[in-house]
Structure 1
Amino acid sequence: MKVVNSHGGGSFLLWTLVVQLVLCGSGVYTAGSTKSCILLSESESERKALNRLEPLANKNFTAETTIGTESYTYVFQLCGDAGGVPGAGVIQYESKKTETKPTVIGMYNATQAIGGSDWVMLIYTHGDRYDGHCSKEMRKAMIMISCNKQVAVGQLKVMLEERQRLQDCFYLFELDSSAMCEVLESQISAGSIILIIGFCLLAVYLIGGFLYQRLIVGAKGMEQFPNYAFWVEFGNMTADGCDFVCRSQNREDGRAYRGVATEPLEEEPEERDDHLLPM
């Protein structure tokens, strides 16, 4: 009977975990990334559109459809092996015959990506050839991924299978995701920023001053308000200035001017000096 060294096994698992972390950090280990998708014609715009789909990478999405008496199940994966089929981005198999070999609709090593403001059209080409349709050309899958703020990732839907043409046939799918929604940048004016900073400073002044007056100085009542004496004096001076400038009530008349009385003056009694004359 062979005995396994538990200490050695633990060290091996630890080193395996460390190696995986290093690979992830260096970018060599690309699971869960859109880097696995190979564009047919590498361009900055297509790579940028593809990178927007990063939150959906390496996740399987399924959809079912019925054509006549036959029902099919589709499996889609972004930049990963759909249904475990190597290199397949979208596969199809009959729902009642899951044990049979699936049909590859498109490969993620032959990808195209077209992006708009709130949508991305992902195209997988180089799928299995048609048996008797579309001049036996290779199948192609088109997945329209659109913005929907209500769901993180919606349900994959089969919209159309166009195979009545002589060429350029395709499978059309639809998927909603909030990852496609444009993030609006907050636009705050300079005046709003100044007001926010002013209110914050005022709040710090009031709260800090109140705590200092109450806990350190030991003030009570209205004296807990920071710089209470200053603000009271400032308020009185402001009120006096406003009263002086704004009020229209007449003040005392100057002493240099007096109005003329309209009532007649009383006549003073006439003084007679006849008694002073010699007799």
Structure 2
Amino acid sequence: MWLSMRIITPLFLLLGGVQGKDNIENCKLLSESESAKKALRLLEPLTQENFTVDVKEEKYSYTFRVCGDVDGQTNAGLVQLKDGGKNVRIGNYNQTRVIGGSDWILLIYEGGEKYDSHCSGEARKAMVMISCSKDEKGKFSVVLEDREKQLDCYYLFELDTSAVCPVIPSKLSAGSIFLIVVFCCLSVYILGGFLYQRLVVGAKGVEQFPNYAFWSEIGTLSADGCDFVCRSRGNREEPPTYRGVGTEPLEEEQEERDDHLLPM
């Protein structure tokens, strides 16, 4: 019996801790859909935080929690806390509606305490616009309380957080991947060759660079290749200026002598 209690007691404590933990499953959607469930799951990182804003002119504050109890009030997701006065439940997370966009989520808590003299005595409703802001970790603010009408009154709040920001996957082109691979291979070649030349061969100075003799001649080899491809290296003779004139040197004609023409 004593052994059984030792086993059962931690098990009950563990189950109790799991059930009491705030999570996204505590929110009960009034209208379930896959898009609403997907948007609600994005708010999972916010379930352990309380968001509070003070209204100094009215001497009260609002506290908001995602799918969790505020101020120990069961099912209360957003509460108006008055200094020395009665706290007012604005909305319950067990009556939730969710509308999701590309970088925003509109979270609606319904079923709050009823108005006394406004809005035909209907139940209060809280609307929290949760917007993407990578610079803010949870800025909560009051926008307005729309109660100057007969029906469909609401409280509107804003929450700026990075939790709803879309994840932008990094896309690398084939050329970028090729350059990264080449750069990595070149780095391994230089570093590995340097260590080998220094530690194994015992080289010093510029001789530590791997295959130094080859790389030092690469410029000369490139110039020779360019010279071989782009230039004419054969012995070419200049073409004659006039056609029909041979290129061979003309033999000197013997000087004609006209001595025989002179009178004797």
1:274 corresponding residue in structure 2:
none
1:71 corresponding residue in structure 2:
59
Q: Is it true that 1:223 corresponds to 2:211 in the alignment?
A: no
Retained in 1: the 8 A contact 2:51–2:138?
A: no
Q: Offset of 1:219 from its aligned partner?
A: 2.0
Distance 1:30 1:218 in 2: 68
Q: Is it true that 1:47 corresponds to 2:37 in the alignment?
A: yes
SS at match of 1:83: coil
Distance 1:237 1:23 in 2: 79
2:94 to 82, 100, 109: 109
Letter in 1 for 2:88: T
SS at match of 2:59: strand
Distance 2:178 2:49 in 1: 46
Q: Offset of 1:117 from its aligned partner?
A: 1.0
2:130 corresponding residue in structure 1:
145
Q: Is it true that 1:200 corresponds to 2:200 in the alignment?
A: no
Q: Is it true that 1:83 corresponds to 2:68 in the alignment?
A: no
Retained in 2: the 8 A contact 1:58–1:79?
A: no
Q: Offset of 1:34 from its aligned partner?
A: 1.5
SS at match of 1:210: helix
1:6 corresponding residue in structure 2:
none
Distance 2:56 2:215 in 1: 80
SS at match of 2:80: strand
SS at match of 1:242: helix
Are residues 228 and 66 of structure 1, via their aligned partners in 2, closer, same or farther at CA, if it must alter by over 3 Å?
closer
Retained in 2: the 8 A contact 1:60–1:83?
A: no
Letter in 2 for 1:244: F
Q: Is it true that 1:92 corresponds to 2:80 in the alignment?
A: yes
2:103 to 118, 142, 158: 118
2:243 corresponding residue in structure 1:
none
1:192-249 per-position Cα deviation (integer Å, ceiling 9, x unaligned): 101100110011011101110111011234432223344456654443221111236x
SS at match of 1:188: coil
Letter in 1 for 2:35: S
Q: Offset of 1:71 from its aligned partner?
A: 3.3
SS at match of 1:82: coil
SS at match of 2:71: helix
Letter in 1 for 2:236: D
Q: Is it true that 1:242 corresponds to 2:230 in the alignment?
A: no
Runs of 4+ in 1 over 6 A off after TM superposition: none
Q: TM-score, normalised by structure 1?
A: 0.76
2:236 corresponding residue in structure 1:
253
Distance 1:126 1:52 in 2: 23
Letter in 1 for 2:146: E
Letter in 1 for 2:77: G
Letter in 2 for 1:119: W
Retained in 2: the 8 A contact 1:90–1:141?
A: yes
Distance 1:231 1:64 in 2: 71
Letter in 1 for 2:127: M
Q: Offset of 1:267 from its aligned partner?
A: 5.0
Distance 1:45 1:197 in 2: 41
Distance 1:234 1:157 in 2: 67
Segments of structure 1 that go 5 or more residues without pairing to the other structure are 1-11, 272-279
Retained in 1: the 8 A contact 2:130–2:159?
A: yes
Letter in 2 for 1:110: Q
Are residues 17 and 227 of structure 1, via their aligned partners in 2, closer, same or farther at CA, if it must alter by over 3 Å?
farther
1:37 corresponding residue in structure 2:
27
1:63-106 per-position Cα deviation (integer Å, ceiling 9, x unaligned): 23367xx43321111111112212100111323x2xx4411110
Letter in 1 for 2:27: C
Distance 1:128 1:231 in 2: 83
Distance 2:160 2:11 in 1: 35
Q: Is it true that 1:58 corresponds to 2:43 in the alignment?
A: no
